[in-house]
Structure 1
Amino acid sequence: MTEENKEMPQDISRRKFLRNTGYTVGGLAVGGILGSLIPWRKDDKTNNPPPPHEENFNQALMYFTPEQFKIAEAVTERIFPKDDNGPGAKELGVAFFIDHQLAGDWGFNARDYMQPPFYRGEKVQGYQGRLKRRDIFDIGLREIDNHSMQTFKKTFIELSGEEQDKILQDFEGDKVNVTTISPSGFFQMLRSATLEGVYSDPLYGGNRNMDGWKMRNYPGSQMAYADVIEKDFTKIKPQSLQSHMNH
């Protein structure tokens, strides 16, 4: 046995070590995985490792800065707050959904016609400008914080729920002096993205644990109803696209 093998703890087999290191990216262990590579000390008081913790790697930032994410999380929670019916946007991971969308085609307006000339369109025509959605969110979230400081001398996440509602109502009513974007247009985009995050498939980052669907008794992405269509049923346990991909 080589000196290197002698140094390898016996409670980690070489196969297990190689399998676990397969979860590293660019030499950096993805959050939570590094702990599984290190054996628990033999002199631990219980002599037992803690229970396994299932990491949700879909809950990771792809576009937002941590500061932007905190504002987006607080804003979406006011738009879709937690109540007696179930969790709010924060628990449902809606800010992660929006973050992932901004990092992809939606954030780049990849499927929209974005060539000039640019004219102010009617409200029923939707957005008609040159800025990409990711640019609009960058500006909008910054201006939400700026308006909070101007109005209450606090950042948005430091405000009470009622004060946060006042800031958002000012955006909705175009009562904010912003020249680069339409405040009401940004609010409507933010509201739509929030609801999409609440009810989208969990594969896309929101609707955590399918709780958004459960509040509506929505069955989700069922492959077929052949086994229940002739039965007297009112509810079906929801399924996500991710569950089908795992089979």
Structure 2
Amino acid sequence: MADNNSNNPKNTNEVTDPGRRSFVKNTGIAVGGVAGGALLGGLFSSRSKNDSNSNTAADKGSGKEKRYEEARMYFTRIADFAILEQAVERIFPEDDNGPGAIELGVPYYIDKQLAGPYGSNVGDYRQGPFIGSKAAASDSSLDRGQIFINGLRTMDAESQKRFDTNFVKATEDQQLEIMTDFADDKVEVKGISSKGFFNLLRSTTLEGAYCDPLYGGNRDMKGWKMKEYPGAIASYAHMIEEDQFVKMDQVSLTDYQPK
């Protein structure tokens, strides 16, 4: 699919608002009490579209500190990466509880994973028969990198078809409508079911939000800080008998490596 960064006519059709609550209910994002913080609270908050686009990869020169470890390794097209940013931000949006997926570095976490053995399914059983368009990610003939490219570009194509604008420029409600239809398996994606792609996108988004920063996500351990999760603590022996909750500073695996 060719890049489409041109300005499109403003859509005049009314769009039914699926609502954040419906989106959470239908896609199973609310996974019990564990899904607090930005994941659950943020999905019920609203943000302006201008705010949600303010941290996209295309926005350069914003005055923020440049992070040299955050560079695209798998996504050669910035347009694909921008779609990824908006998609993961809809799943894990910024809200009063803390940062969203973009600020947590989730898109770069996913990019790094796809650039390595995970993205090309190294070590997985890769012989047929394959299910095709009804496949989950584990049953597709495509590797995970190809699944992401096909899924993201199909999201963009759906936005063009429905709203006459690309996915990045669509409103938040329009993006949620498309993603809800992906989760409900109502969209055709080459080589995999749309539900299979959405499930893969959702799981990697959560991984990027809460992984050890060593792996490229959970920037500055902010995902852990929202949960008051201490991270890679070597031992709890000194506090195991405490009756009250003990708040601790976060520790990454990199803190155990010699300087």
TM over 0.5: yes
Instruction: Confirm whether residue 167 of structure 1 aligns to residue 181 of structure 2.
Output: no
Query: Which secondary structure does the structure 2 equivalent of 1:112 belong to?
Result: coil
Structure 2 CA distance for aligned equivalents of residues 143 and 168 of structure 1: 11
TM-score (normalised: structure 1): 0.72
Q: CA deviation at 1:61?
A: 1.2
Match of 1:167, as an amino acid?
A: I
1:143-162 map, 5 Å:
143-162=154-173
Residue number in structure 2 paired with 1:238: 250
The answer for the alignment partner of 1:178 in structure 2 is 189
Separation in 2, partners of 1:84, 1:113: 43
Q: Residues 83-232 of structure 1 correspond to what in structure 2 (within 5 A)?
A: 83-119=95-131, 127-229=138-240
Return the letter of the residue paired with 2:148: F
The answer to whether 1:61 aligns with 2:91 is no
* CA distance in structure 1 between the partners assigned to 2:102 and 2:126 by the alignment: 32
- Cα distance in 1, alignment partners of residues 124 and 114 from structure 2: 14
Q: Which amino acid aligns with 1:155?
A: N
Q: Return the letter of the residue paired with 1:235.
A: K
The aligned counterpart of 2:11 is: none
Any idea what SS the aligned residue of 2:103 has? helix
User: Which residue of structure 1 aligns with residue 83 of structure 2?
Assistant: 71
Contact 2:230–2:249 at 8 Å: present in 1 too? yes
The aligned amino acid for 2:162 is: T
Q: Which runs of 5+ in 1 are unaligned?
A: 1-52
Q: What CA RMSD, in Å, does the superposition of the two structures yield over aligned residues?
A: 2.3
How much does 1:147 deviate?
0.5
Q: Which has the higher contact order (CA 8 A, sep 6+)?
A: 2
Does the 8 Å contact 1:119/1:128 carry over to 2? yes
Alignment check: 8 A CA contact 2:133 2:192 kept: no
- The letter of the residue matching 1:139 is N
Aligned-residue offset at 1:152 = 0.4
Listed one character per residue, the Cα deviations across residues 159-197 of structure 1 (whole Å, up to 9, x for unaligned) are: 111111011011111222334321111001000010010
Mapped contact 2:132–2:191 kept (Cα < 8 A): no
CA change 1:104–1:168 in 2 (3 A) is same
Counterpart amino acid of 1:92? L
Q: Distance in 2 between matches of 1:179 and 1:239?
A: 42
Q: What is the CA distance between 1:210 and its match in structure 2?
A: 0.5
TM-score for both structures, normalised by structure 2 = 0.69
Distance 1:168 1:119, change over 3 A: closer
> Structure 2 regions of 5+ residues with no counterpart?
1-63
Larger Rg: 1
The 8 Å contact of residues 92 and 207 in structure 1, kept in 2 or not, is answered as yes
Shift of 1:70: 0.8
Over the matched positions of the two proteins, sequence identity in percent amounts to: 48
Per the alignment, do residues 54 and 146 of structure 1 end up closer, same or farther by CA in structure 2, a change over 3 Å counting? Answer: closer
The question of whether the paired residues in 1 share the 8 Å contact of 2:73 and 2:111 is answered with yes
CA distance in 2, matches of 1:144, 1:122: 17
